[in-house]
Structure 1
Amino acid sequence: MDDDEQKGYTWEAGYAEGLNINEVLVEDEGGSIEKSIAKYVADSKRKARLTKRPEKIRLGIMRHVMIVIDCSRFMTSKAMPPSRFVVVMKALQQFLERFFEQNPIAQIGLITCKDRKADRLTMMTGNIRILKESLSSLTEAFCGGDFSLQNALQLACVNLKGMPGHVSREVVIVMAALSSIDPGNIFSTIETMKRMNIRCSAIGLSAEMFICKEMAKATKGEYSVALDPDHLHLLFSKHTLPPSSAKSSECNAIHVGFPHHELIKTRSFCVCHPDSKPISLRGFICTQCGARHCSIPAECPVCKLTLVAAPQLARAFRHLQPLAAFKQIEVTRGSCYACETRFSDEGFRCEKCRLVFCLDCDTLLHESLHVCPGCN
């Protein structure tokens, strides 16, 4: 075959289904691609909202997630103004609020990686206040050195291997570096993560890396590269939904306590603040051992009992019966059933009650309320 007749190379087939930059990122009259990125993010949100979620599958409701934050010198880049570090910290703060809203009985731990070393910033906890304070303690001056993916995965594995078999174990890596300096064979570490049913996902801030793609593929995780801050928020939001549970995972009945929020008149210290006085006169008393907690959900460090409120537990199980995607239709007359806004071009119809909603109400129902007002 002549060179003129050759249509492509064999290795290009692996990228045929990926993001085609030439089709998505189109420059405008001023040479900017910001409008193209905004359109791509909006289309991605709409596609995710209209996609029908599978039903009658096992989900990992009790999630234990280790978030690895790349604190190498690449995080100080101004590619995402004011810097990648500032953008990631802001996105993580919003992600934590959204994550615990959707997963009230989950727990998150934080790991930082710089100078080829990985350190645990926060142990596994369900207290969002502790996580936010830990993130606030990090500064851009803290970043430096090179990133090591293998060391980060090994530390995450050490923190997750002691978890019970019925929980969902996950690792989410926020990576800005374009290289990973590892002490050994990283593919053996990926095999270990796969064998332990630890789902590894990554969010890139630079360019796509082969090792991250292979890691996500082997452990059934997700890997995407953020185009701008709005796209980064969208990629984080994908990790708020609980993943499907592996067939080999255990199914166990667990003890759960439902303490009341009450005024504590007796002098006592809380297990949340062992080195200082409680932050409030009100708190929660463990129903099994009597230890004092400032907030729930939490796992009692004394007796290991899971403490939750009944509404939190109910909110965690709504993922098992998700609100069905509404059908997009063309409509020029009438108004939205929820907010009574007049329709102009399109609407979203519930296939069960046949009522039509606007775009904003459709987003609110599927991302926050998870119920249809017409059906209920």
Structure 2
Amino acid sequence: MPDSDDEYQGDDASDDEFGSSRAASGTPLETRGRSRPDGGKKGGRKGGKAAWEDIQRSWDAVVEGADGTLAEAIEGIAEAEKRARLLRDTTPLQRGIIRHLVLVLDMSFAMLEKDLLPTRYELVMAYAREFVREYFEQNPISQLAIIGMRDGVAVRISDMSGNPADHLEKLQGWVKQEPQGNPSLQNALEMCRGALFHTPSHGTREVLIVYGALMSSDPGDIRETMAALINDRIRVSIVGLAAQVAICDELCAKTNGGESSGYYSIALHEHHLRDLLLAITTPPVTRAREQSNASLLMMGFPSRTLAAGDAINYCACHNRPTREGYACTRCGSRVCRLPSECPGCGLTLILSTHLARSYHHLFPLRNWIEVSWTEARKSKACYACLAPFPEVPSSRGKGGKDRARGKEKENGKPVAPAPLPVKGLSESGRYACEVCRNHFCIDCDLFAHEVLHNCPGCQSDTRGALAAQNGETNGSAQVEAQARTNGAMEVDS
């Protein structure tokens, strides 16, 4: 029996390497095997392995708790996911808090795919409704319009408006529609240009496209549309559901100052798609331009009024009978919801709370730091919700040197080593504000950074005012000044 060792090829060998090895061993060389000058490795891949070939042994990071269950490990993973959403750049930057954004949804045949369950179309429509709510929650004085792409044309779903209820009502009417036809990026971008043409110069002009197809059926040259978008100062961001498309990358790069990273992303799974969409709710950083000058913007702050007796008034925005509403401070026209633009005189009508909710983008709340076991003895409960913290271990502590190395013994057997620490996750379950030094739990950390945008400890700390009255200069008088720069907004009384 002839020896077959020379015919065996490893898993890392390609077809070209197989052919060249047979030629070197003296066997006849087939036409499909041809040697390559780079050693037979396609694309010059280092190490001979692709990214998907590396095995990630994620199960090794799961460690059983003292009771023999995985509850402690699961809680740690859940807390790590919560902290991952909070760890962001909190550098105060100039941002456009008055935004005009057009949401473009792909409604073509590509949205019938089921790689995102239940289908791409149903998932995108559900996330679009969630995006509308979060967008107006984070940007209450901004406006939004929605456009769809199907049958090679652009379909207007809702007009530019600052009322989230109108957009949600219009989106609900398209949920039962079947996606069909080809998408057209050029037609959608031209309709976006028309929707953003009359927007004021003090606001941003943005387009967000959720794109699921790998092609675009355009009637003309899309690069001419790109030049028009640059001239109109319109930024385009794209969230792709399939592979990366070259024209989409070029579109995002040219409309965002030559940088496409952060503006063109591909969703890996359902949760990643949600994170990419909700990340757009943060206002973009204002690019420095020589012609940008500060200007005053006139706004009205009406109060809610109720019609006297059995009288009924008509709102000027929807022409519907109503007994309550807000009267414009300039012309007296009645609108049913705020914020909105007066249909009579065009004055922007908002509440003072809307400005306060938009202010946190300019001066975000600082990220709270993790508290180690050595500093955990200072607190036994959360400063905000009074939830009890885990007790400090009497030994060297969780994650100590002996325990981390597996040398600690219990009943004569070594204890399993502690899991590797996760970035941003506190081993003691405590998170401290760098200004007031109070300790908080993970739930209060999440609530303060995503809802309140203020630190409860800094807001309730009166040491700065007391120190100023008592003439103390030991550093405590700076607490109030630091608290104002930690996401707090000073409002004139």
Band the TM-score falls in, shorter-chain normalisation: 0.7 to 0.9
1:330 and 1:9, CA in 2 relative to 1: closer, same or farther beyond 3 A? farther
1:194 and 1:26, CA in 2 relative to 1: closer, same or farther beyond 3 A? farther
How far off is 1:169 after superposition? 0.8
Partner of 1:232: 273
- Show CA shifts across 1:296-320 (max 9, x none): 1001122110000111122112211
Match 1:354 to one of 432, 437, 441: 437
Is residue 222 of structure 1 aligned with residue 263 of structure 2? yes
Is residue 368 of structure 1 aligned with residue 451 of structure 2? yes
CA distance in 2, matches of 1:24, 1:101: 42
- Show CA shifts across 1:58-93 (max 9, x none): 210110000001111111222212111111111111
Larger deviation, residues 338-347 vs 70-79: 338-347
Is residue 323 of structure 1 aligned with residue 365 of structure 2? yes
CA distance in 2, matches of 1:48, 1:21: 26
1:105 and 1:211, CA in 2 relative to 1: closer, same or farther beyond 3 A? same
Is residue 102 of structure 1 aligned with residue 162 of structure 2? no
CA distance in 1, matches of 2:54, 2:356: 40
1:44 and 1:169, CA in 2 relative to 1: closer, same or farther beyond 3 A? farther
Partner of 2:464: none
State the number of aligned residues. 355
Is contact 2:38–2:44 with CA below 8 Å preserved after alignment?
Answer: no
Match 1:4 to one of 19, 39, 42: 39
Partner of 1:125: 161
Structure 1: which amino acid aligns with 2:39? D
Partner of 2:195: 159
Is contact 1:76–1:140 with CA below 8 Å preserved after alignment?
Answer: no
CA distance in 2, matches of 1:40, 1:185: 49
- Show CA shifts across 1:106-132 (max 9, x none): 000011110110122111101111000
1:296 and 1:88, CA in 2 relative to 1: closer, same or farther beyond 3 A? same
Is residue 243 of structure 1 aligned with residue 243 of structure 2? no
Match 1:342 to one of 372, 389, 397: 389
Partner of 1:261: 304
Q: What TM-score, normalized by structure 2, do the two folds share?
A: 0.66
Larger deviation, residues 236-245 vs 248-257: 248-257
CA distance in 1, matches of 2:177, 2:134: 28
Is residue 116 of structure 1 aligned with residue 199 of structure 2? no
Q: What TM-score, normalized by structure 1, do the two folds share?
A: 0.85
Is contact 1:85–1:140 with CA below 8 Å preserved after alignment?
Answer: no
1:330 and 1:150, CA in 2 relative to 1: closer, same or farther beyond 3 A? farther
Is residue 287 of structure 1 aligned with residue 329 of structure 2? yes
Larger deviation, residues 41-50 vs 183-192: 41-50
Gaps of 5+ in 2: 1-35, 60-75, 257-261, 391-426, 460-493
Is contact 1:41–1:234 with CA below 8 Å preserved after alignment?
Answer: no
Q: What is the identity percentage for the equivalent residue pairs of Structure 1 and Structure 2?
A: 38
Is contact 2:331–2:344 with CA below 8 Å preserved after alignment?
Answer: yes
How far off is 1:9 after superposition? 5.4
- Show CA shifts across 1:185-204 (max 9, x none): 22232232122221111111
Is contact 2:96–2:203 with CA below 8 Å preserved after alignment?
Answer: yes
Is residue 208 of structure 1 aligned with residue 250 of structure 2? no
Larger deviation, residues 318-327 vs 213-222: 213-222
Structure 2: which amino acid aligns with 1:4? G
CA RMSD of aligned residues (A): 2.9
Gaps of 5+ in 1: 13-19, 30-38
User: Partner of 2:313: helix, strand, or coil?
Assistant: coil
Partner of 1:61: 97
How far off is 1:47 after superposition? 4.3
CA distance in 1, matches of 2:161, 2:328: 17
CA distance in 2, matches of 1:329, 1:219: 43
User: Partner of 2:325: helix, strand, or coil?
Assistant: strand
How far off is 1:23 after superposition? 9.0
How far off is 1:229 after superposition? 2.2
Structure 1: which amino acid aligns with 2:447? L
How far off is 1:27 after superposition? 8.8
User: Partner of 2:284: helix, strand, or coil?
Assistant: coil
Structure 1: which amino acid aligns with 2:193? C
Structure 2: which amino acid aligns with 1:297? P
1:317 and 1:192, CA in 2 relative to 1: closer, same or farther beyond 3 A? same
CA distance in 2, matches of 1:162, 1:320: 26
Higher relative contact order (CA 8 A, sep 6+): 1
- Show CA shifts across 1:194-232 (max 9, x none): 222211111111222222222222222612122222222
1:292 and 1:230, CA in 2 relative to 1: closer, same or farther beyond 3 A? same
CA distance in 1, matches of 2:122, 2:149: 16
CA distance in 2, matches of 1:104, 1:214: 31
- Show CA shifts across 1:126-175 (max 9, x none): 11110000000103434210011111111101111221111011101111
Partner of 2:124: 88
Compare CA radii of gyration and give the structure with the larger one.
Answer: 2
